[in-house]
Structure 1
Amino acid sequence: MTKRAYSPKEIAAKKWVTLPWGEQWSEPFGFPAENASWFISGASAQGKSSFVMQLGKELCKYGPVLYMSYEERVNQSFQRRMDYLGMNEVQGRFRVVTDDSIDELAERLAKPKSPKFIIVDSYQVAYDDFGWTYPAAVALMRRFNRKCFIFISQEDKSEPTGKPARRLRYICDMKVRVMGYKAYCLGRSIGEAGNHYVVWKEGILKTSNNL
């Protein structure tokens, strides 16, 4: 059976439901589709975890968020981060799981009123311990193509750690790198040139003073 080929007219006519967020988010990241895939990377102690939590809190305005906390689980630093970012304000829309395999997550997502946004932190731990191979991750994204998958990646020498993570970055719509408490959008759907999201203003000042 011959697979469908799209004409330029058909592509131009496609409509997307985009995130209707304010300038704080739209200036660095534009208005991505609600089901756009994200790949967020950054070295340790650069503000990546705080940025991801802030993004998760913002996304709660548009649908339920499930945070797959594979790397930190629910340790003391995770608890403190949730506290100072006021995650109690999104009670009922934000949930955290620590040990769902990719198959168990698929069962969860197939249920009515399942999460709309899924944060996988980190992809390396998910890959090693919970069945998130590159083909399995792609298959899950295609099966639940109306949902938004957000992958968090460790870094090694300024690159995502491991070949599967680097492959995954290529196919994701939103590519974000967190450096020096600033989050930069690197491709496909970007906001205004030169803009970035401020993760922690005081941290930027401290980093600048040290330099």
Structure 2
Amino acid sequence: MAKNKIRYICEECGYESSKWLGKCPNCENWNTFKEENELSFSKSNNKTKNISAVKLDEIETMSNYRYTTTLKEFDRVLGGGLVKGEVVLLTGSPGIGKSTLLLQSSKEYCKYGKILYLSGEESVNQIKFRANRLHVNENNLYLLNETEIESILEFIKKEKPNVVIIDSIQTIYSNTIDSIPGTITQIRECTLKIVEIAKKMEISFFIVGHVTKDGKVAGPKLLEHMVDAVLNFEGEEGNYYRILRGIKNRFGSTNEIGIFNMEEDGISEIKNPSEFFLSERDEKNIGSIVVPILEGSKIFLLEVQSLLINSEFGIPRRIVQGFDKNRVQILSAVIEKKLSLNLANKDIFINIPGGISIKDTSADLAVVMSIFSAFKDIEISQKIAAIGELGLRGEIRKVAFIEKRLIELYKLGFKGVYVPESNRKDLENKNINLKIIYLKNLNDLLERMR
């Protein structure tokens, strides 16, 4: 017997409560509870399923278990390609290019069999118009405009496509749940059914998800745990390039990023992003130095820029873009203590051009040198880079994958690099044509900068 049951669900984490709460006891966010009217059924007549397990050594390994495209950056972020039976959640701001990327990649996947592009937001004629602009005209690409998940799954079971693209999950609903599309319950239940059929039939799914104003995936956090991979498509407003960032990946490395151009006839990959980010530097720069950053399995060369001006207010400002603001506060304190620089009356502005946020602590030394250069008006050659993590005692600590970082510097024509003394053993007997300057602490740096 069916009956209506009202409950309240946290939009952030999916926590359920029988009454409305101002603050979620699970994730501690305020005003996140939304009312859901759920249709529940008695489970007294449910029968137990007959299930069986399979021995690990009896499972045959697939030789070609990934679908690849000519967009190598896209495949790399996925971990080497799209795995058969994988469910990928693609998120991003409205208009960032999610649908363009997936429609363009569907052309590549057509060489493996049937591809179903399902949209609850556009008619098939509108999708066809966009496909013409992207030069997508494949015989194996099927378009469908439907929003009921039960009808969609029946169609998938009948046609058995290799890859299904759902744009977007917020428009899909189940007729067994008494709530409107886009609610937490609908998103969760529809995704659960998609994951189930993906694993049973080894059909790969791309699910497009909307994001909230603060950049989080709309719906409960549980949605990210249900899928195999979460990719976020980012881009600064007014810029023509886009960043595809891997947040979660069960079949590859996390924190991978790919850089793409947004062009009139679609998306193209930037094969040398380091050269792209460093294209507008002068031969000598004040307050600017390059650092090689490790993102997933790839090295990116990024510029650290600093600007110091006298503070007009009692409390100096620390304006930071692309770097951790709290980290800048710590580094500023270490600089004042160890390098005897008076930063108490200076406004500090730190910028990482290109829209990439640096989370790698190996950029500490570059930030310190950038601030010191801006304070003392010392020019730094564009062919010099810096790598090193800074401790509170002023020591420059060892960083990982140092050889890989130096090789990338050499490829782009750099002549010298500052590295931690503790990395000397890792670089002994290595044929790297760079002038390597080893530093133990900030006192060694001070002597060099003078």
* TM-score normalised according to structure 2 size: 0.39
1:14 Cα deviation (Å)? 6.3
Q: Which residue of 2 aligns with 1:38?
A: 88
Secondary structure of the structure 1 residue equivalent to 2:102: helix
1:108 partnered with 2:155: yes
Q: Deviations over 1:16-54 (max 9, x none)?
A: 412244534332222341211110000012222211212
1:149 partnered with 2:198: no
- Higher mean alpha-carbon deviation, 136-145 vs 125-134, is at 125-134
Q: Which residue of 2 aligns with 1:94?
A: 141
Gaps of 5+ in 2: 1-48, 174-179, 236-241, 271-275, 277-353, 356-450
Q: Deviations over 1:84-134 (max 9, x none)?
A: 21111x1x21111112521112221222x4222111111111144499542
Which of 53, 66, 69 is 2:119 aligned to? 69
How do 1:106-185 and structure 2 match up within 5 A?
A: 106-111=153-158, 113-127=159-173, 128-129=180-181, 133-145=187-199, 146-156=202-212, 157-163=214-220, 166-180=221-235, 181-185=242-246
Amino acid in structure 2 at the alignment position of 1:51: L
Gaps of 5+ in 1: none
1:196 partnered with 2:246: no
Amino acid in structure 1 at the alignment position of 2:75: S
Tell me which of the two structures has the higher relative contact order, counting C-alpha pairs closer than 8 angstroms and 6 or more residues apart. 1
Q: Decide which structure has greater strand share.
A: 2
Are the structure 2 counterparts of residues 58 and 167 from structure 1 closer, same or farther at C-alpha, using a change threshold of 3 Å? Answer: farther
1:177 and 1:186 in contact (8 A); partners too: yes
Q: Which residue of 2 aligns with 1:82?
A: 131
Q: Which residue of 1 aligns with 2:28?
A: none
In 2, Cα distance between equivalents of 1:132 and 1:182: 30
1:50 and 1:199 in contact (8 A); partners too: no
1:193 Cα deviation (Å)? 6.2
2:90 and 2:206 in contact (8 A); partners too: yes
Q: Which residue of 1 aligns with 2:77?
A: 28
2:246 and 2:254 in contact (8 A); partners too: no
In 2, Cα distance between equivalents of 1:48 and 1:144: 21
Aligned length: 200
In 1, Cα distance between equivalents of 2:255 and 2:88: 19
* TM-score normalised according to structure 1 size: 0.76
In 2, Cα distance between equivalents of 1:129 and 1:82: 27
1:74 Cα deviation (Å)? 3.7
Are the structure 2 counterparts of residues 162 and 151 from structure 1 closer, same or farther at C-alpha, using a change threshold of 3 Å? Answer: same
Which of 82, 99, 114 is 1:49 aligned to? 99
In 2, Cα distance between equivalents of 1:104 and 1:194: 36
Are the structure 2 counterparts of residues 190 and 81 from structure 1 closer, same or farther at C-alpha, using a change threshold of 3 Å? Answer: farther
Q: Decide which structure has greater helix share.
A: 1
Q: Deviations over 1:40-84 (max 9, x none)?
A: 0000122222112122222222221111110223464x4442112
1:47 and 1:179 in contact (8 A); partners too: no
Amino acid in structure 2 at the alignment position of 1:162: G
